[in-house]
Amino acid sequence: MPATLEEIARTIQGGDVDSAARLLSRTSASDANRAEHAYLRGLVAERRFDVAAAIEAYEEAIAADPHHQESLFRLAVLHDLRGDDEGAIGYYERFISQTPTPINALINAALLYEENRRYREADDCLRRVLEFDPNHARARLFKKHLESTIHMVCEDETTTRRRERDALLDMTVGEFELSVRSRNCLKQMNIHTLRDLLRISEAELLNYKNFGETSLNEIKAMLAQKGLRVGQLLEEPRQEEAAPPPAPAPAPLPGDSALLNRPVSELELSVRSRRCLQRLGITTLAELISRSETELLAIKNFGLTSLTEIKRELRERSLSLRGSKN
């Protein structure tokens, strides 16, 4: 008598994969159990480390039953492990759209969203977990990390916008198409950059000898193309123009050379963290601790979970990232 799918599932859980494969080969799939049959074949393939065959079986399962949760979850996990974030997110989204949704799936999805800088979706997943269990330790920790990341990203974006604006304002007026009369007038008035133009009013320009409405309109049109206007900096707080303080010189790397030359492969890190370090070309502890938290978090797929993991491993060796207090 053929074994039931429940018996085969128990055989897989017991670790006897070969017996489970034989039982599956003797058990035909009907319309009623096609999804479950394919799912069990996926489990067998996965335990034999045949990821391609496992994915094919799980896809067959959801083709038979688009709501087959176990297959959707395994597909999300396997695509994540292969570094296919887009594919993993797609399956997680299909999985967590169903109810009830296991908490671990929501947390996994949140981490993946965070690593892809989709912070709103990550926060939504963690919010759902905390609505169900307000004291869930991992969700509370990850939400705190997520809020820190969002704050850091906002600060970085603000700094980037300021640098871009400063670079624009420091461009010389000679780099733009102006008439000879306008150029000569600006030069005689010691106006050399766009920043200088934004520090003077229209009335001051018109009061200068040989500077008329035609030159003023020409300059106003040039500034308008860049979203600027004459006298703009007169209306803005002076701190907007302040240059950031020079970065401090990097401190000497701590630790002895023997320790610092050890490979990062000795650290107990997740597959995702190792992959990020490989992408950065970081091979030794010395190279790792020369990086700051901000530099690491700026790398695609490097989230706070990976950062926490790396800081823990370094702390155990009395090391830390550049500029880190712990």
5-98 in CATH: which number? 1.25.40.10
Class of domain 257-315: mainly alpha
pLDDT at 306: 81
Domains 5-98 and 173-238 share a fold: no
Q: Tokens representing 265?
A: 């492969």
- Tens of pLDDT, residue by residue over 136-192, are 888 888 888 888 777 777 776 677 777 878 888 888 877 878 888 888 888 888 888
Q: Which homologous superfamily is 173-238 in?
A: 5' to 3' exonuclease, C-terminal subdomain (1.10.150.20)
Which range has the top average pLDDT, 150-164, 200-214, 248-262?
A: 200-214
Instruction: Find where tokens 């990341």 sit.
Output: 149
What pTM does this model have? 0.49
What distance in Å separates the CA atoms of residue 74 and residue 170, rounded to the nearest whole number?
54
Higher pLDDT, 56 or 261: 56
What are the residue boundaries of the structural domains of the chain, listed by start?
5-98, 114-169, 173-238, 257-315
d(CA 311, CA 318): 10
